[in-house]
Amino acid sequence: MPSYLEQKFGLHGRVALVTGSSQGLGQAMARALAQAGADVIVNGRDPAKLAPVVAELAALGAKATPIAADLGNRADVQQLIDQAVGWQGHLDILVNNAGIIKRAPAADHSDADWDLVLRVNLDGVFTACRAAGRHMIARGSGKIINIASLLTFFGGVTVPGYAASKGAVGQLTKALSNEWAGKGVNVNAIAPGYMRTDNTAALQADPMRSTEILSRIPANRWGEPGDLEGAVVFLASRASDYLSGHVMAVDGGWCGR
Ligand code: NAP
């Protein structure tokens, strides 16, 4: 008889796809899902970066496979979901994590940067949700976890495209929840706080911004990728079956300040 924790939080027999899991937050979430028992598909654009992550998950005893795809290309996204479903015949967990940021004052923000950020962070997320959602609705179960941001709630500084995309990810999460919660598919989001990854390298390197950010974090430290482990396993597991359309901030208390 599986333990209470295994019944509620265990992911054995589940297949998870984490987009953008070659490094950073996606890699940490892929590792956490694997440690909770899931078989994991690792994604990013560069196949060479996926191989070591797959090896790391395999060393933990998990089944893992790489699928390279560009989330900024709708045809690639559809193919990614088709291949993910084809791997074991089903897809139970989709973590829409791949995301990019382009920093420039709004008055100088180029069309190219705006379009690219919206394409990856929003169009890619909707296309993946729609393709995976069709499959999950047909099976009557599934967990979709979108990676939002504190800029889902706040406007940020010199990242207008990023803020617009992440605000939209929050609304998309609620819109899909409204349609799919009654069909056995939970759609939720995680809004990470300021985490130490390549995405925030420019902020970490700027002594003024870095100090300003740290001074507002009640936990008194920047987040580390591993800080998302509990939230992603919870949202992927049966323990969160009645949680839907929620954007969960994992931010060391930033939003409460
Ligand atoms: P990161 O270290 O830059 O990693 C981004 C990942 O996404 C990489 O694996 C990258 O792999 C992949 N990626 C980028 N563009 C892609 C594309 N077009 N198609 C497929 N994969 C792509 O960033 P991170 O900090 O881990 O961020 C992960 C997510 O969390 C993003 O959505 C970000 O907006 C969000 N977030 C981060 C923070 C933070 O403080 N770090 C805070 C809030 C939200 P390849 O380059 O190999 O394709």
Residue 60: its pLDDT value, please? 95
CATH at 148: 3.40.50.720
pLDDT of amino acid 249? 98
CA–centroid distance, 96 to ligand 1, in Å, is 10
Ligand 1 binding pocket mutation candidate from 18, 19, 21, 25 (most atoms within 8 A of CB):
25
Query: What domain range is 69 assigned to?
Result: 4-251
Residue 257 lies in a domain: no
Q: Indicate which atom in ligand 1 lies nearest the CA of residue 166.
A: 34
The neighbour count for residue 139, using CB atoms within 10 Å, is 14
Ligand 1 centroid, distance to 217 Cα (angstroms): 22
26 lines ligand 1 (CB under 6 A): yes
Report the pLDDT averaged over residues 179-199. 98
175 within domain boundaries: yes
Contact 34, 54 (CB under 8 A): no
Q: Is 53 in the pocket of ligand 1 (CB under 6 A)?
A: no
Question: Residue 233 domain-assigned?
Answer: yes
Instruction: Note whether residue 232 is domain-resident.
Output: yes
**pLDDT-derived band of residue 39, with 50, 70 and 90 as boundaries?**
very high
Instruction: Determine the pLDDT at residue 31.
Output: 98
- At 23 the pLDDT is 98
Residues 6+ positions from 53 with CB-CB distance below 8 Å: 21, 22, 23, 27, 30, 42, 64, 66
Residue 234 placed within a domain: yes
* Residue tagged active-site, from 4, 162, 194, 242: 162
CB 216 within 8 A of CB 159: no
Give percent of the chain above pLDDT 90: 100
Q: Count structural domains, the chain.
A: 1
187 located within any domain: yes
**256 is a domain residue:** no
pLDDT in the model for residue 105 = 97
pLDDT band, residue 21 (cuts 50/70/90):
very high
Paired tokens of 41: 């598909």
Q: Output the pLDDT for position 148.
A: 99
Q: Quick check: is 242 catalytic?
A: no
In a domain, 18, yes or no: yes
Closest residue by CA, ligand 1 atom 6: 20
CB-based contacts of 149-157 (< 8 A; 24+ apart in sequence): 149/191, 149/192, 150/191, 150/192, 150/193, 150/194, 150/249, 150/251, 150/254, 150/255, 152/189, 152/191, 152/247, 153/191, 153/249, 153/255
